[in-house]
Structure 1
């Protein structure tokens, strides 16, 4: 699971709420400058955490249902789910180290 999977409204619940591992949902938009800064960090974390974390990204403009369900007010936005439980919620540009610090407490270490 080392790559970032692009999802949409129709498969949001299946990919996020029905996952066996925690899921990092990265909300972004084409027009969002800070999203371009955050994207490489999200991808790096997907590779770093491997099978302990599923990383998905969702474009907010064509997917209003997931955006609304996750109460995303602005992009970039990060949500970490385990099942249907929201563990982490963050909006705004964020660096890899800060993101890693937010995720580590919620991920089991092998």
Structure 2
């Protein structure tokens, strides 16, 4: 299923993979026509999962060589430092979304909890009445100075 790589993984990749969260690496190139088409789709899908995984978009001309990447675009799915799946190309939007769901998990909708307001109108009126504005501060200072004389 997966070919064994004899090349050691670069230190930059080992550091990125040393996490409990799933890691997804996307390798593309600026001069690749397939990458021009694939990268916006990958970014759109990855945006939904950014809080649930470490997602990296890497340019093969600028990043260190990865032994599993032989062409672009390539997507690598890691969990606990182990390569789970390698995609050469991203396929369709639906297949990429399925791979994200499979390796990260389905996203739960955020729950909207009805909360009681912390402050009500009487509290707000009391707070505003105790605030010192510039004219009121002068008035209060004058009253204090007059009482001390």
Q: Same fold (TM over 0.5)?
A: yes
Once the two structures are superposed, what CA deviation does each residue of 1:16-45 show, in whole Å capped at 9, x if it has no partner?
A: x11331111000111101101111121112
Q: How many residues align?
A: 98
In terms of fraction of residues, the more strand-rich structure is 1
Normalising by structure 2, we get a TM-score of: 0.58
The structure with more radius of gyration: 2
Q: Which runs of 5+ in 1 are unaligned?
A: 1-8
Normalising by structure 1, we get a TM-score of: 0.76
Give the structure 1 partner of residue 13 of structure 2. 12
Give 1:49 shift: 1.5
Give the structure 1 partner of residue 27 of structure 2. 27
Give the structure 1 partner of residue 39 of structure 2. 39
Q: CA RMSD in A?
A: 1.9
Are residues 86 and 42 of structure 1, via their aligned partners in 2, closer, same or farther at CA, if it must alter by over 3 Å? same
Q: Which runs of 4+ in 1 moved over 6 A?
A: none
- Higher relative contact order, structure no. (Cα contacts within 8 Å, ≥ 6 residues apart): 1
Is 1:108 the counterpart of 2:105 in the alignment?
Answer: yes
